[in-house]
Amino acid sequence: MYKILDKVDYSDDVYMQVIEAPAVAAAAQPGQFIVLRIHEEGERIPLTIADFDREAGTITIVVQAVGKSTRHLQKLGKGDSIANFIGPLGLPSEIEKVGTVICAGGGVGVAPVYPIARALKEAGNKVISIVAARNESLLLWEDKMREVSDELIVTTDDGSCGRHCLVTEPLKELCEAGGIDLIYAIGPGIMMKFCCKTTKEYGVKTIVSLNSIMVDGTGMCGACRVSVGGETKFVCVDGPEFDGHQVDFDLLMSRQRQYLSQEKESLDLYVECGGDKRCMT
Amino acid sequence: MHDVNTDKPGDKPEKKPKRPKLPRTGIPEQPAKQRATNFDEVTLGYNEDMAKLEASRCLQCKKPKCVLGCPVGIDIPAFIKLIEDGDSAAAIAKLKETTSFPAVCGRVCPQEEQCELHCILGRKQEPVAIGRLERYAADWEFANGSSSKPEIAASKGKSVGVVGSGPAGVTCAGELAKMGYDVTIYEALHKPGGVLVYGIPEFRLPKAIVQRECDYVESLGVEIKLDYVIGRTLTVDQMMEKGHEAVFLANGAGLPSFMNIPGENLNGVYSANEFLTRSNLMKAYRFPEYDTPIKVGKKVAVIGGGNVAMDSARTALRLGAEVHLIYRRSREEMPARAEEVHHAEEEGIIFNLLTNPTQIIGDNEGWVEEIEVVDMELGEPDASGRRRPVTVDGSERRIPVDVVIVSVGTRANPLLTKSTSGLDLNKWGNIVADEHTLLTSKEGVFAGGDIVTGAATVILAMGAGKTAARSIDRYLQGEPLLTAEEEEAIYTAEEKAAEKAAAK
């Protein structure tokens, strides 16, 4: 069992948990992910590592509740435990000194960008961060991002905070101005797709972190396959980071929707039963 | 209540039968129609009378050939004699001297190619049902709540790390624990058993049995650490830094292969590994009671002709689909066990033999709609000795399906091997290990099972586990990995083979 040491709700749907997992924390690096399972009947869900503390032996995750498992996890707080917590999985980000790097995070995608931005900064890069969300209530980790960035831009789709625009607007301006050596863009599929579309014109290498459906997360099942440069890759062992200009985002998003009807059925039943497992059998 | 699968008796009576000539004892099974709708075990096992009757058929050969056919060398006549004498407790104790997984092997070993193939009785009639008797003894112990434990040697004060809790890893760990070593198994998944839990379906191997066998190995003093991905959570070098003086890599076959035909990434296309893992390990067949979903499908195409293809097809059938098995060669070349093919056919799997898929066609939403196939005919034998299938021109046709399960084998998983320095790999990415000692190119590191051989059988992996345990013991005691007699035997065998080749 893995203990939840801390939990913070950021909004009705988004929350942060700090999980005690010393072996995972000892090995964790920016860009990697974990797989967790809440209980014996639970599914295995992959989540990108938002932060890690090797000394405290903890991993931080930031989750957007969408289906049954993430709703259930949301109900668990400090002192509760989850059955399984496996990681760190996937290949770590390649952190090097390249010059000026843009780190753009959309929605909960800001969380996994954070350790990457921090590492890039520590490696001596100039870090320009863009923190984007649909509205102010969904903005997160603005302060943490500011600490590790030379420059921070906030955007909201509705203008409730920061600039009233999509993440692609400042991205385009920065590319236009030139001097950008590398871009990280992490967030929902549609956000990454359009970020890559924007940066491709300028030929600036753009790395994305893909969040496909997985079961084991160690290469065994192939559920997470994506098309990169026309070749099939497994996100869990070949990624999760890829050259965004090579990724087939439409396929990624289509595959993410595979279980929508079952996910709805499961969530409806969960809500109907008030989370009581016995009524689901 | 149950069908009895009566095996055919031998054709002609022997001239001087030492014992009354009996046909092979049939084994009760769930009727095909009934079992096609549930996940309960297909074969139900012998009762005591059946087991004694079958055991009485054993000739108790002085030089038993069956033992030579067993990759782990079980003393087969001895345990069968004990069953015949009505001492089931002693029979299981005898089995456990050599195998840690009798309940598993009794169910999933290809006995017809191993022990039973060599049975002397089998020359004139049906061989003794060794596998069924092994299963009987193991199940008897479970039903009677007893658990015999072999003698465990005094602690040797040395620690061994084993990667993977599948048949190779658990066998190796069990053997080493009996010799007095401290053994820790590192398992990446949340349950121990490897392919026995994620791959082989409940109806062929109930998971409670796998758990019981893993519990047994733990009772020998082996620690199983779950959720531990070697190569990620911990590297092999770190395992050694943490005090393991030797390491056995038995992390399994790994990545599923696809065919590289158009449409393989459409929604509704599964690797057999994914489909089976969802159903077996994650219990998706009990969704929504269990959270993991699975696309059931009205009409499912399973591509391949091996045991994994049969398992996938029979799982899809039980989930409620009409299942078409698509295999490019003929029935004769199918690598699956005859029993599995027979069971699948009995349950209503539709076989499309000499048929090869060329593309998968999707709808506007990205879901599988049809599979295009071509007819094949058999040409000249290829490198595998099987006749090569050749496309029949102009035979393209489409089969409407909503799920496709690709079961065309696996490749080596790079996760562990890429993160381990000093480990030699072959061109397919499998670990290179000495075939007699299983020592790798890395000091103190041994490897066996599917990660070395590519996908093979449970019992071969167990055999590798045993070999590794023997080598690790000698390595840690500072002895040569092979004894002088063993080296001599290998040398002689090689010499003979060379002579034979020269004579040709």
Residue B100 confidence (pLDDT): 79
Residue B504 confidence (pLDDT): 67
What radius of gyration, in Å, describes the C-alpha atoms of chain A?
A: 18
Determine the average pLDDT of the residues in A222-245: 95
**C-alpha angle B493/B250/B336, rounded to 5°?**
75
Weakest mean pLDDT among A112-126, B275-289, B372-386, B482-496: B482-496
Evaluate whether B440 touches B446 at the Cβ level (below 8 Å). yes
Is 1.10.1060.10 the CATH classification of the domain at B32-148? Answer: yes
Quote the CA–CA distance of B49 and B83 in Å, as a whole number.
10
Judged against a pLDDT cut of 90, whether residue B389 lies above it is answered with no
Query: Which comes out higher in pLDDT, residue B484 or B96?
Result: B96
**CATH code of the domain made up of B256-410:** 3.50.50.60
Residue A281 confidence (pLDDT): 47
Beta strand segments in chain A, E: 2-9, 14-20, 33-37, 45-48, 51-53, 58-64, 81-82, 84-89, 100-106, 126-133, 151-156, 163-164, 182-186, 206-209, 225-228, 231-234, 241-243
Determine the average pLDDT of the residues in A130-148: 93
Taking CA atoms, B409 is separated from B388, B450, B461, in Å, by 18, 12, 17
Quote the CA–CA distance of B257 and B24 in Å, as a whole number.
40
Residue A23 confidence (pLDDT): 96
Judged against a pLDDT cut of 60, whether residue B12 lies above it is answered with no
Quote the CA–CA distance of A186 and A93 in Å, as a whole number.
12
- Class for domain A2-89, per CATH? mainly beta
Determine the average pLDDT of the residues in B187-216: 93
Q: How confident is the model at residue A280 (pLDDT cuts 50, 70, 90)?
A: low
Cβ <8 Å between B198 and A220: yes
Determine the average pLDDT of the residues in B307-334: 94
Residue B278 confidence (pLDDT): 96
Cβ <8 Å between A251 and B265: yes
**Each residue of B332-352: pLDDT tens digit?**
889 998 889 999 999 999 999
CB atoms within 10 A of CB B387: 16
User: Nearest-CA residue of chain A relative to B257?
Assistant: A222
DSSP state of B406: E
Q: Where are the domains of chain B?
A: 32-148, 159-254+412-494, 256-410
Please provide the average confidence, as pLDDT, over all residues in chain B. 90
Residue of B232, B368, B410 to mutate for A, most A C-beta atoms under 10 A: B232
User: Nearest-CA residue of chain B relative to A239?
Assistant: B415
> What is the second-level CATH architecture of the domain A100-280?
3-Layer(aba) Sandwich (3.40)
**CATH code of the domain made up of B159-254+412-494:** 3.50.50.60
Cβ <8 Å between B198 and A234: no
Interchain contact A215–B (C-beta under 8 A): yes
Residues of A whose CB is below 8 A from B198: 216, 220
Q: How confident is the model at residue A276 (pLDDT cuts 50, 70, 90)?
A: low
Judged against a pLDDT cut of 90, whether residue A176 lies above it is answered with yes
B227, B291, B415: residue with CB nearest A219: B415
Determine the average pLDDT of the residues in B218-231: 95
Exposure on the CB side of residue B126, measured as CA atoms within 13 A: 17
Rounded to the nearest angstrom, the minimum Cα separation between A213 and chain B is: 11
DSSP state of B433: -
| Residue keyed to tokens 């988004």 | A14
**Each residue of B104-133: pLDDT tens digit?**
989 888 888 889 999 999 888 899 999 999
Spatial CB neighbours of A194, under 8 Å, sequence gap ≥ 6? A166, A167, A168
- B159-254+412-494 and B256-410, same CATH topology: yes
Residues of B whose CB is below 8 A from A189: none
Residue B9 confidence (pLDDT): 47
Q: Biggest alpha carbon distance in chain B?
A: 72
Please provide the average confidence, as pLDDT, over all residues in chain A. 93
User: Nearest-CA residue of chain B relative to A2?
Assistant: B227
Cβ <8 Å between B288 and A265: yes
**Each residue of A20-60: pLDDT tens digit?**
999 999 999 999 999 999 999 999 999 999 999 999 999 99
- A2-89 and A100-280, same CATH topology: no
**Each residue of B418-444: pLDDT tens digit?**
889 999 999 989 999 999 999 999 999
Q: How confident is the model at residue B20 (pLDDT cuts 50, 70, 90)?
A: low
Judged against a pLDDT cut of 70, whether residue A219 lies above it is answered with yes
Residues of A whose CB is below 8 A from B282: 43-44, 215
Interchain contact A92–B (C-beta under 8 A): no
Spatial CB neighbours of B193, under 8 Å, sequence gap ≥ 6? B165, B166, B170, B207, B210, B211, B213, B214
**Each residue of B268-308: pLDDT tens digit?**
999 999 999 999 999 999 998 899 999 988 999 999 999 99
Q: How confident is the model at residue B101 (pLDDT cuts 50, 70, 90)?
A: confident
**Each residue of B142-152: pLDDT tens digit?**
888 777 788 88
Residue A142 confidence (pLDDT): 93
Evaluate whether A226 touches A254 at the Cβ level (below 8 Å). no
Rounded to the nearest angstrom, the minimum Cα separation between A270 and chain B is: 10
Beta strand segments in A10-57, E: 14-20, 33-37, 45-48, 51-53
Most confident of the following: A30-34, B7-11, B62-66, B457-461: A30-34
Taking CA atoms, B211 is separated from B20, B100, B214, B337, in Å, by 40, 12, 5, 25
The b/e string for B211-247 (b: 16+ C-beta within 10 A; e otherwise) is: ebbbebbbebbbebbbbbbbbbbbbbeebbeeebbbb
Spatial CB neighbours of A32, under 8 Å, sequence gap ≥ 6? A48, A49, A87, A88, A89, A90, A91, A92, A240, B232
Q: Where are the domains of chain A?
A: 2-89, 100-280
Rounded to the nearest angstrom, the minimum Cα separation between B421 and chain A is: 16
B interface with A, Cβ–Cβ below 8 Å: 188-190, 198, 226-229, 232-234, 252, 254-256, 258, 264-265, 267-268, 270-271, 273-274, 277-278, 281-283, 287-293, 295, 365-366, 413-415
3-state secondary structure of B489: helix
- Paired residues of A81 in beta bridges: A3
